[in-house]
Amino acid sequence: MSYGVQVGEERFFLKTAGKPDAPKPISHDFSISLLRNAQRLWEKSRHPLLPELYQVIESPDGPLCVYEWADGELLGNARDRFRALPEPVIIRTLDGIHALHHQLIGLGWIAVDFYDGCLIYDFDRQALHVMDLDHYHFGPFTNEMGRMFGSGRFMAPEEYELGTQIDERTTVFTMGRTTAVLLSDNSLDRQPFRGNEAQYEVMCRACRENRDERYVSMAEFYTAWMDVR
């Protein structure tokens, strides 16, 4: 359960686990664990695209995470408007998303449940914030769910298969799909892709179904992406 809170002239985003008896798709204890996980990630990263976590207030119902307020629209809802922006603006936004994940992977965090609903874009200032990284996992792990949390537009094949390895090659796939969603029409077809040929090839390699054919690391993917900028 999340709230927008205003104190005087200041605004904040307050994220909570909700009431223990409130109906929700996951347990209250799991909700608390996700909030704690997001706190650990923020403390390790503090990347400029991540809203500031000002304070964690302990309550009888779990932690209350007080975040910086971020103006803008969720790109999951404003995707078409964002895609209509000039190509250089979209590419700069992708640069930021890829750089953030390059840093997170370097710190040990694997992307889980990342999609365009995690992106808040301020069209007036052309500014991006990234939020809701609660499911990110510290270190590679084994898929013990089968179909994991996430949007099918961004998920790698291994995120559907029980017992498979989830690691930075999975994050590489997610970054490739992010490029396809924001710089194209969600497909890997050449014609709708708005970047150049070299950028298109980087995206396609990142999105290979066979994980052994992708970039072996986020560092390799990020270097390849920046080389074709």
Check: CB of residue 172 under 8 Å from CB of residue 214.
yes
Spell out where the chain has E strands: 2-7, 10-15, 53-59, 62-68, 73-74, 109-110, 119-122, 127-130, 137-138, 141-142, 165-166
What's the pTM? 0.96
Helix (H, G, I), strand (E, B) or coil at 71: coil
Looking at the predicted structure, is the pLDDT value of residue 194 above 90? yes
CATH fold of 2-68: Phosphorylase Kinase; domain 1 (3.30.200)
> What is the token pair recorded at 119?
């992106």
Looking at the predicted structure, is the pLDDT value of residue 25 above 90? no
**Domain-wise residue ranges, the chain:** 2-68, 73-227
CA-nearest of 74, 76, 68, 60 to 17 is 60
For residue 23, the model assigns a pLDDT of 85
Kindly report the CATH number that applies to the domain delimited by 73-227: 1.10.510.10
CA-nearest of 50, 67, 56, 59 to 10 is 67
Torsion of CA 157, 158, 159, 163, to 10 degrees: 150
DSSP letter at 51 equals: P
As beta bridge partners, residue 130 has: 119
Mean pLDDT throughout 47-64? Answer: 96
